[in-house]
Chain A
């Protein structure tokens, strides 16, 4: 059967091209996602600054939580966990240890700053000058030998510079002062390589030292795991849908040949084997080529993510054969599934069909398909309800993709019924082309159903992908617009004291952004200075009050309070960004959690537990010009600008999900081109009986336009439902926000693509003289 399948594929290249392209794209997407995922799981960053220290002792960067059932879960901390300096003294006494080096790390004017005490960790050596001794002296790395550091004197230049960070050294005491963590250090280097075990710190060796040095790489790794997983899963589902669609179409087009085979001597099982053999053969070839292309796609994706700042430059992509192999297997599985589904239909082809003269239309909607359609529809409803109850973006985003997909699957399954219902409507387009189109649509509901599948998929997926961040962003924007009552907003780096001294300033609130975990669940945190808070922001307090905010008080957004089941007066145990536990008392519950943050904590509680303590400052009163004069080099924004900048950046999602949109577009072109080119005989016949080329093109255009209109309506419905549920869960309001222009763009692009994918193959088909086209056997 396989050799027979191979022959058939060779002969009917056009019919299989659709499935081939779909499988190829699927393999490429899955490979690329697999590479991201693998990098997330196994990616390592080589240490730079710690390269010279055989063992690095540093904090455990994970918050760990043991559940009642004894299972321990660990989540990455957002900020660096510092360790007590006394560990150094303890280690110094350990057997075999010859040298112990402590260090502190903190940001300083674009540099990564340390005390000169830790130069040996790299090791850094001086090329010129001398080490910093006094508080006002610094040493810079070789790349910055000519740099001017305001307020400091450069007394030396190192012989080295690190590839992915700019380094500055202060005197040891000054560094400790600037870092501002009494009795704590970032890391402790131990020489030579010996096993050390201490309480309160973990020992890192080899490439693991890089994870301590580059916490952002660890963050990026975790992000890559979830992004790669979501993207890979979505593309796999889309692939199965698209491939099943193209297979079904190609089988529909070969109905007569298969019926003939059945009549002559092939059992239903042999036909199923033939179809399966074709599917496997195509998927091996398409999967192999696609997986190769996927490696390039993965490299390109990483480059985009680096450019967008989502992945650090020094986190290299892990390249191994596993993603390509997994993609090949996934493609085989997708093709096999698609073939199984289509083969059900084939087994029903009655051999008698081969003997009838007319090309028979597919029989009525089979019971199993209707049942499956209704079941999937129920699943879609259930998912929509679930989505409406999810208030964490990390869960909500992938579920919204899944919801849109499942709705689309329901539409595809029930497509023939929908097509029949719609074509039964007494609508007519004027002209001969319109008349023919109307008749064709009515007679060929199977073809219409096959075409609306990918078109609906494209509209639904594109709208959902584009407008779920927009819905969220719009809601956050609205809250910020209403909630920022300050007149000016200063970018991080401004001294709050200087601001308060500036003329006309009535109040200044410092705002730090970080995260905290409550039982490992991550919550956004804004830490604010309470003085004059009522003049700079209005969180929309619904219960309790922010009067006397400070110490260990906290305010919680309504969404978070609902999720946690807490209210005013309750105590809340949380883990700060750097792993320090804290217990706070809830003073207020507020409405505008989306625009600001789920948790509002006092600045004094949080400031010592973030890597970058420079705060944004909200200013009430004062003149912009005066502020700019008082604070040279600080960006001053007005309220509207600040609200604009405060909304989330969805660029990474757009890049990743853009691939899925592209895939859907390919599916649209595929299906329409297949469906149109399979009609060349019919078109030739129409021309023989005197239909003009213009009338034929008009007919095809009308048919496609009807299909596109139907699909756009269905797709819009699906995405509106999905977005409403997404909005209800995330923002508490079920009003989706499809940007009007963006939506029009989606619709226009879908319709234009559909028309083009019909017109081009139609023109090809019309190029042959009708008599020749008719003579050519099917």
Chain B
């Protein structure tokens, strides 16, 4: 299987000297194409940092990150942005959308910024898939939290990226809405062959993934295939997340 993302001995240290915090320590991992990966771990274990480094939002202190075969080290901010624009989609926990733009405009924002015309057929397809038919002209303020996350997912898909990253994409939603969004993400992977990497602290959310990677203290300490929610919860308890 080809790997969309490859991290080799990636370390990230925040700050200098005495106050330095090692958020990631020598992490090496590959994310295979067309899979749904969940990253779990106690708070402060380095999940977000992992995501930032893997997605080219931040550069690691040492080690190598390859995104779809391209080495990120040595790229400047503009090159990184252009790379993200083409190859990466994002779904954040909240504040995903630009309030002044309509749903359609928010979805096509990465294309607008890249100066590329959207493909109408593809746009219609993803709008239908995320269930936003008839909402195209609405503003974010007129949508519920779940609908806003759907817009964000559609935006993440619009450039046909190699990988979609989500940082607690369901963290701000109620259980029912969260389930709908997770079903959608699962469907994106199974139906479209999209690669998705999602940070979460919720075992139920993780159970929708193909693989769960467990982070503790900046290291990948375990992984689990075909995870079930109760198994994940048990593993997390042993990592000290809920003690």
Contact = CB atoms under 8 A, between A and B. Distances in A.
A257 B95 CA distance: 7
Nearest to B89: A264
A260 B95 CA distance: 8
B10 to A, nearest CB: 15
Contact of B58 (A4, A266, A352, A778): A352
Given A267-B77, A267-B82, A350-B58, A355 B52 contact: yes
B140 A777 contact: yes
Contact of A268 (B77, B84, B100): B77
B81 A262 contact: yes
Contacts of A269: 78
B98 interface: yes
B110 A267 contact: no
A777 B57 contact: no
A735 B58 CA distance: 57
Contacts of A776: 141
A253 to B, nearest CB: 13
B95 A265 contact: no
A357 to B, nearest CB: 7
Given A11-B99, A256-B95, A355-B92, A263 B84 contact: yes
A351 interface: yes
A138 to B, nearest CB: 78
A352 B54 CA distance: 12
Given A7-B101, A257-B95, A355 B48 contact: yes
B125 to A, nearest CB: 20
Nearest to B84: A265
Contacts of B92: 260, 263, 354-355
B85 interface: yes
Of listed A10, A265, A267, A778, residue having the most chain B CB within 10 A: A265
B75 interface: no
A269 B77 CA distance: 10
B100 A8 contact: yes
Of listed B48, B52, B98, residue having the most chain A CB within 10 A: B98
Given A8-B100, A12-B100, A777-B141, A263 B95 contact: no
Given A777-B99, A777-B140, A267 B93 contact: no
A120 interface: no
Main secondary structure of the interface of A (DSSP, over half): helix
B155 interface: yes
B109 interface: yes
Interface in A324-358: 350-352, 354-357
A265 B99 contact: no
Interface string B84-110: 110000101111101111000000011
B167 A265 contact: no
Interface string B70-84: 000000011001101
A350 B81 CA distance: 11
A351 B92 CA distance: 12
B113 interface: yes
A265 B93 CA distance: 17
Contacts of B48: 355-356
Contact of B100 (A11, A264, A266, A352): A11
Contacts of A351: 57, 81
Contacts of B57: 263, 350-352, 355
Contacts of B52: 352, 355
Nearest to B77: A268
Nearest to B55: A263
Interface in A251-286: 256-257, 260-270
B38 to A, nearest CB: 17
Of listed B82, B99, B110, residue having the most chain A CB within 10 A: B99
Contacts of A262: 81
Nearest to B78: A267
A687 to B, nearest CB: 21
A10 B99 CA distance: 10
Contact of A265 (B94, B96, B110, B140): B110
A354 B152 CA distance: 13
A267 B110 CA distance: 11
B114 interface: yes
Given A260-B95, A352-B57, A265 B100 contact: no
A256 B52 CA distance: 16
B109 A265 contact: yes
A22 B239 CA distance: 56
Contacts of A355: 48, 51-52, 57, 92-93, 167
Contact of A263 (B90, B98, B100): B90
Contact of B110 (A8, A256, A264, A350): A264
Nearest to A5: B100
Nearest to B111: A265
Given A263-B90, A268-B81, A777-B95, 5 more contacts: A256-B95, A263-B57, A270-B113, A352-B52, A776-B141
The 9 closest A-B pairs by CB, nearest first: A11-B100, A265-B110, A265-B85, A265-B113, A7-B100, A267-B81, A267-B78, A8-B100, A355-B167
Interface of A: 4, 7-8, 10-12, 256-257, 260-270, 350-352, 354-357, 776-778
11 contacts: A4-B112, A8-B98, A8-B100, A260-B98, A261-B113, A267-B77, A267-B113, A268-B77, A355-B52, A777-B95, A778-B99
